[in-house]
Chain A
Amino acid sequence: MEVTISTAELLTTDGIPLKQSLRKAERRNKLRAFLLVFPLLLFIIVTFVMPIGDMLLRSVDDSQINSVFPNTFNEYKNWDKGADELPPEEVYKSLFFELANGDKRQIGKALTRMNYAKSGWKSLIKKTTREIKKIVKKGEEPVSYKDTFIKINKFWGDPTYWYSFNQMVNDRSSIYYWNALDRTFDEDGDVVLQDEKRRMYIKTWLRTFKVSVYVTIFCLILGFPVAHLLANLPLRYSNLLMIFVLLPFWTSLLVRTTAWIVMLQQNGVINGILVWLGVISDDGRIQMVYNEAGTLIAMTQILLPFMILPLYSVMRVIPKSHMRAAQNLGAKPAMAFWRVYLPQTIPGISAGGLLVFVLAIGYFITPELVGGKDGKLIGSWIAYHLKTTLNWGLCAALGGILLGIMLIFYWLYNKIVGIDNIKLG
């Protein structure tokens, strides 16, 4: 007799292929599961994925100005900057007609964009447009458009204005990202450092970074013992302590921040007490707010719960017998802590650390209020460009970089600690 091993599909008792039958049986459940999460999915797409996508697009988008001056930009690309000092006649001519016939509102928008590239553009073009419209009204046709422009305003003979076109001539542009890193394009379209007086972002990035790292470290140092107490005190006391930890959560961020101003300012509570105690003299009051120190102090306090809670949730489940076992095996308490307790809290440390760092790096209100001039973080610049200069492209680029940094940290974290090690509660 020959034994044949069947490789055929498994069948159910009714002869339907097993897999097909399973799919059919599971379909209803899958559909129900999908319908349950669908509203959330929709919500996330509409409120999270789409805005972020839009932001990222906006950070590289330069199409508006290209739709206003398509011909000018086309001709501009033919300009051989090595050979001629000024752009060729065609550029002036295209610009002449595009200014003369263009939609006023669209041009207005484009001017704002041009002003980011070089200040002075707005007034120059506005003035020029008025003159051009007069010329068109009279029905005159200029012999040389170039000379006409230069006659209207001598700046049209200044090549630096023309060079600034370099960063606008493409639909997609990386200029905002370069701006966000204190860089711009030179006349050849190469990336160069900004003028010294316009460099402020790198400095702010570095400060943001430094403050975030410090805040994370301070939160860890201050939060670890508190979390340990929370996890190990008898329930009666730990509940009370937990309220103290959570209390700030229930208080408005603005109130807490202004409270810190009251505490820290030169005529504030802390300085007052120090003077009263005679620790410092009345003229030697310490500047603790409206600078980086103020940002550090206030942010550490505000972000502390985000460190304590993940730590607490990890520490709570570490059996007390572990420290005892380590000591029983011959380790002194410090050694037992270092070798047995601390390694087990790493999921909490890393979760809390990541959380605090990510929150700190994008923090806005607190540094804005207590940071003064040299305690402001990158969030303040984003808000400034969003509300004041309306340079949304730069805003988006700053935000995009922030997002990128966070993703890099997330990736690093996953590489080093493993994201499944994270524990938030």
Chain B
Amino acid sequence: MNDTSQSFVKFEKIDKSYDGEVLVVKNLNLDIAKGEFVTMLGPSGSGKTTTLMMLAGFETPTNGEIFLDTKPISKIPPYEREIGMVFQNYALFPHMTVAENLSFPLEVRKISKPDIKEKVQKALDMVELGNFGTRFPAQLSGGQQQRVALARALVFEPRLVLMDEPLGALDKNLREQMQYEIKHIHDRIGITVVYVTHDQSEALTMSNRIAVFNDGVVQQLSTPDILYEKPENSFVAKFIGENNTLNGVVKEINGSSCEVELEGGFGTVKALKINVNEVGEKTQLSIRPERVSIDSSTSGANNFSGKIEELIYLGDHIRARLDVCGNNEFIVKVPNEGSFRHKEGDQLNLSWDSKDVRALDI
């Protein structure tokens, strides 16, 4: 599925500016394969929604071309693109019933009445709202409206479905439930989905691949596991998941690993060389909290000690905020096995494997 050689959607050298002064999207190149679930993830203002709107046809690229199924689509108006879209606040038409909302795309395509009825029912059944056809959107809960919006985006069998933060208005439990539902529907009907969100856990849960946007540029495009475990720059490391950072200067490079001298003379750390090129360069080290072990006697490459600043009890684990090598925001997650006896103010021995530390840009 990650085969980009036969890309279904292709962004080629896309630039976008609204005012001629600021580029909202800079040189975007992105290939999406058929049937893939690709998420554009990034903070607000990073250009991800603009990219989606260009694909939907509501914004025109300032430069470059978008190809859909190998055909350029910049000149095609939105109503001829055959792209379904789930809007941020669903954009259900309040004066139409659920069934009428779903019939709308079919009616404008002049499909026969009986076919419409059948397709609408099928789509409603798919989102488990089979009996809700006669209700008005205002009579539905947020989650149900969400499902109607999804069904409406799918009912006319578009080539591609776009979703613009579709779960943003739902509460946490419902959001998680809907994430699985959308994922299952995607798995079942195998349609290509381009999803926009700023919620990284949503992106990790649902996507085949994630494009992390920042400042109009795709920082990294990869599968969720690689994004999390092997972030290529410090923005991705910080944006996806929790991340501990230590700043320092590269002292020595040995092939794919390097030694970094920490700021403030706390010692040296062995790390993977990812985004540094030469000795003397400043770098930010990134270590995931769960890769730090405490009180371990293993003679790992990196052994440090830290003072417990704060302990937060979270049921399945205890979250410890430590002061390590001058960083008092150093987080360690201790699994709640019933053996953790330390109090705030105690010193802990910490260690981590050098292949879990990534030397990134600063």
Give the interface of A toward B (CB within 8 A).
319, 321-322, 324-333, 335-336, 339-340, 343-344, 346
User: Given B58, B93, B109, which contacts A324 in the complex, CB threshold below 8 Å?
Assistant: B58
User: Given B57, B84, B91, B152, which contacts A321 in the complex, CB threshold below 8 Å?
Assistant: B91
User: Given B77, B95, B108, which contacts A329 in the complex, CB threshold below 8 Å?
Assistant: B108
Nearest Cβ distance between residue A323 and chain B, in whole angstroms?
Answer: 9
- The reply to whether A330 and B87 form a contact with Cβ atoms under 8 Å apart is no
- The reply to whether A319 and B89 form a contact with Cβ atoms under 8 Å apart is yes
- The reply to whether A330 and B108 form a contact with Cβ atoms under 8 Å apart is yes
- The reply to whether A330 and B88 form a contact with Cβ atoms under 8 Å apart is no
User: Given A321, A328, A330, A340, which contacts B109 in the complex, CB threshold below 8 Å?
Assistant: A330
Give the residues in chain A near B80, CB-CB below 8 Å.
Answer: 330
- The reply to whether A327 and B79 form a contact with Cβ atoms under 8 Å apart is yes
Give the residues in chain A near B78, CB-CB below 8 Å.
Answer: 324, 327-328
Can you list 18 residue pairs at the A/B interface with Cβ under 8 Å? Answer: A324-B87, A324-B91, A325-B87, A325-B93, A327-B77, A328-B78, A328-B81, A329-B79, A329-B108, A330-B82, A330-B105, A330-B109, A332-B108, A335-B108, A336-B79, A340-B93, A340-B104, A344-B93
What does the 1/0 interface line of B32-74 toward A look like (CB < 8 Å)? 0000000000000000000000001110000000000000000
- The reply to whether A328 and B79 form a contact with Cβ atoms under 8 Å apart is yes
What does the 1/0 interface line of B93-107 toward A look like (CB < 8 Å)? 111000000001100
- The reply to whether A331 and B87 form a contact with Cβ atoms under 8 Å apart is no
User: Given A324, A332, A343, which contacts B95 in the complex, CB threshold below 8 Å?
Assistant: A343
How many chain B residues touch A (Cβ–Cβ < 8 Å)? 25
- The reply to whether B87 and A321 form a contact with Cβ atoms under 8 Å apart is yes
Give the residues in chain A near B84, CB-CB below 8 Å.
Answer: 328-329
**Cβ-closest chain B residue relative to A320:** B91
Q: A343-B95, A344-B94 are in contact. Are A330 and B89 (CB under 8 A)?
A: no
Q: CA A328 – CA B77 in complex, angstroms?
A: 9
Give the residues in chain A near B82, CB-CB below 8 Å.
Answer: 330
Q: CA A324 – CA B52 in complex, angstroms?
A: 13
**Cβ-closest chain B residue relative to A336:** B79
Q: Check B116 for interface membership: any CB of A closer than 8 A.
A: no
Give the residues in chain A near B93, CB-CB below 8 Å.
Answer: 322, 325-326, 340, 344
**Cβ-closest chain A residue relative to B79:** A327
- The reply to whether A331 and B108 form a contact with Cβ atoms under 8 Å apart is yes
Q: CA A130 – CA B95 in complex, angstroms?
A: 76
Q: CA A406 – CA B78 in complex, angstroms?
A: 46
- The reply to whether B79 and A332 form a contact with Cβ atoms under 8 Å apart is yes
Closest 7 CB pairs of A and B: A325-B91, A329-B105, A321-B91, A327-B79, A343-B95, A331-B108, A328-B85
Nearest Cβ distance between residue B200 and chain A, in whole angstroms?
Answer: 25
Give the residues in chain B near A343, CB-CB below 8 Å.
Answer: 95
Nearest Cβ distance between residue A209 and chain B, in whole angstroms?
Answer: 31
What does the 1/0 interface line of B145-186 toward A look like (CB < 8 Å)? 000000010001000000000000000000000000000000
Nearest Cβ distance between residue B247 and chain A, in whole angstroms?
Answer: 43
Q: CA A344 – CA B152 in complex, angstroms?
A: 19
Q: Check B83 for interface membership: any CB of A closer than 8 A.
A: yes
Among B279-302, those with CB < 8 Å from A are none
**Cβ-closest chain A residue relative to B85:** A328
Q: CA A327 – CA B76 in complex, angstroms?
A: 12
Give the residues in chain B near A332, CB-CB below 8 Å.
Answer: 79, 108
Nearest Cβ distance between residue A320 and chain B, in whole angstroms?
Answer: 9
